[in-house]
Amino acid sequence: MLDIKFIRQNPEKVKEGLAKKQVKVDIDRLLELDKKRRELLQVIEDTRAKKNKANEEIKRAKNKEEKDAIILKMRELDTNSDRVENDFQEIDKEFQGLMLQVPNVPDDSVPEGKSDADNKEIRKWGDIPKFDFPIKDHIQIAKNLDLIDFERGTKVAGFRGYFLKNGAALISMALWNYAIEFLIKKGFTPFVAPSMVKGFNFMGTGWLPQAKDEVYSVGEDLYLAGTAEVPMMGLHSEETLDESDLPKKYIAISPCFRSEVGSYGKDTRGIYRLHEFMKVEQIVLCKNDHEESVKWHEEITKNSEELVQGLKLPYRVVVNCAGDLGFGQIKKYDIEVWIPSQNKYGETHSSSYFHDFQTRRLNIRYREKSGEIKFVHSLNNTAIATPRILIQILENYQQKDGSVLVPKVLQKYTGFKKIA
């Protein structure tokens, strides 16, 4: 969440950020509650001080009459403090509820816009392939080469269910190994993260309460994560690190689950938009400094670009407009890889930074060399998500005879060069 001090000092900037993200929160009401809350806190603290003083006076009382007089005053203080405490609890509940509804403020460099249609291209890489034969989409390729079973997947898992098999299964595993090995060499620590996690992880990362319809609940205060970001951010919750521990660079793989509420009728064919998938995620915790966050944002985006470049897939990078940012995101890049059958780029990676929005909720702090305690900054980025990127691999590497070549960087993991 945002620091209330920041909201007090920059109410118009916060309101402007709300408008850009198309979120409605009554900031004036929030500031009114903040003022009342601080006033009541002061009264509570003053009352406690008076009670402590009265307790000391009772100990020093010379006789019963003097002691009884002090006790009578304490009872009056108790009556008043009960009323003030009740008022504070009511105001604090509304205050905390509103604070959870305030999104992060977009960076000034983020373009305005309402949806992904307003995202801005900032660079491209690679050449769009030219085919001298009629191309097939990934669904037809998968059917011809017996790579994906959609019919039995739907029978077993319901809508958007699927089985990856044969070469598709092996290429998926190769992609995970490729990404993890690449990032270990970049100094990232590997994790296999849990997918079933407690609610505080979702609240801390900003998924709850806003995106509760997108999250699967599997029990009392247990949910299925839509990305390894959720459990990995919970890893250091309620901890105070040393400045020398930073940055923390993690690469985590996990199954991911999303209900895709709001996307019905959209990308229903194939493996682009699924309820269950696998993802390798970069997580960075760094010092509380904007320039430090910007540096790491560019770095983790570059890592993902290098992974796609290694696959020899043409792509572009877009900066997301304010209306296409997540609740806690300050700035986000998407990497979109070329889909020949659709004659367009399709999103395969995203890269975001949050400042201390998540860590303030999760209470992840660090101690500077000076001894000052600050909240760390957090970032995350998709290294590889499967099976989505199989769309681009199958379509860009398809051959005239119906076979599909395996990207060279994956061949050492698959043990074969072609699917035929």
In a domain, 327, yes or no: yes
Q: Which of 8, 237, 273, 276 is catalytic?
A: 273
- CATH of residue 36's domain is 1.10.287.40
Q: Is 259 marked active-site?
A: no
Q: Is 48 marked active-site?
A: no
**Beta carbons within 10 angstroms of residue 167's beta carbon:** 22
Q: Which two tokens stand for residue 4?
A: 């209330």
Cα separation, 352 vs 368, whole angstroms: 25
Q: Are residues 35 and 125 in the same domain?
A: no
Residue with tokens 């992060």: 104
Q: Are residues 74 and 195 in the same domain?
A: no
Q: Are residues 47 and 158 in the same domain?
A: no
Domain that holds residue 27: 4-99
Cα separation, 11 vs 34, whole angstroms: 13
Query: Partners of 249 in the beta sheet?
Result: 284
Residue 11 is predicted with a pLDDT of 97
Q: Are residues 215 and 259 in the same domain?
A: yes
Q: Which residues contact 98 (CB under 8 A, 6 or more apart)?
A: 25, 26, 29, 30, 33
Q: What is the pLDDT along the chain (420 residues), one digit of tens a residue?
A: 999 999 999 999 999 999 999 999 999 999 999 999 999 999 888 888 877 777 777 777 767 777 767 677 777 767 777 888 889 999 999 999 999 999 999 999 999 999 999 999 999 999 999 999 999 999 999 999 999 999 999 999 998 899 999 999 999 999 999 999 999 999 999 999 999 999 999 999 999 888 888 899 998 999 999 999 999 999 999 999 999 999 999 999 999 999 876 555 566 689 998 999 999 999 999 999 999 999 999 999 999 999 999 999 999 999 999 999 999 999 999 999 999 999 999 999 999 999 999 999 999 999 999 999 999 999 999 999 999 999 999 999 999 999 999 999 999 999 999 999
Q: Are residues 55 and 174 in the same domain?
A: no
- CATH of residue 157's domain is 3.30.930.10
Query: Partners of 381 in the beta sheet?
Result: 282, 351
Cα separation, 20 vs 388, whole angstroms: 30
Q: Is 258 marked active-site?
A: yes
Please tell me the total count of domains within the chain. Answer: 2
Q: Is 388 marked active-site?
A: yes
Q: Which of 37, 160, 258, 365 is catalytic?
A: 258
In sign, the C-alpha dihedral spanning 417, 162, 388, 396 is: positive
Q: Are residues 232 and 329 in the same domain?
A: yes
Q: Is 361 marked active-site?
A: no
Q: Which of 254, 347, 365, 395 is catalytic?
A: 347
Beta strands in 356-420 (DSSP E): 364-367, 373-375, 377-386, 404-405, 418-419
Q: Which of 37, 361, 365, 388 is catalytic?
A: 388
Q: Which two tokens stand for residue 224?
A: 């299925």
According to DSSP, residue 259 is labeled -
Q: Which of 350, 351, 352, 378 is catalytic?
A: 350
Residue 80 is predicted with a pLDDT of 73
Residue at which a domain ends, from 99, 132, 160: 99
Residue 68 is predicted with a pLDDT of 65
Q: Which residues contact 22 (CB under 8 A, 6 or more apart)?
A: 114, 323
Residue 367 is predicted with a pLDDT of 98
Residue 53 is predicted with a pLDDT of 78
- For residue 82, what are the CA distances in angstroms to 43, 47, 53, 79? 11, 11, 18, 5
SS3 assignment, position 50: helix
Residues in the chain: 420
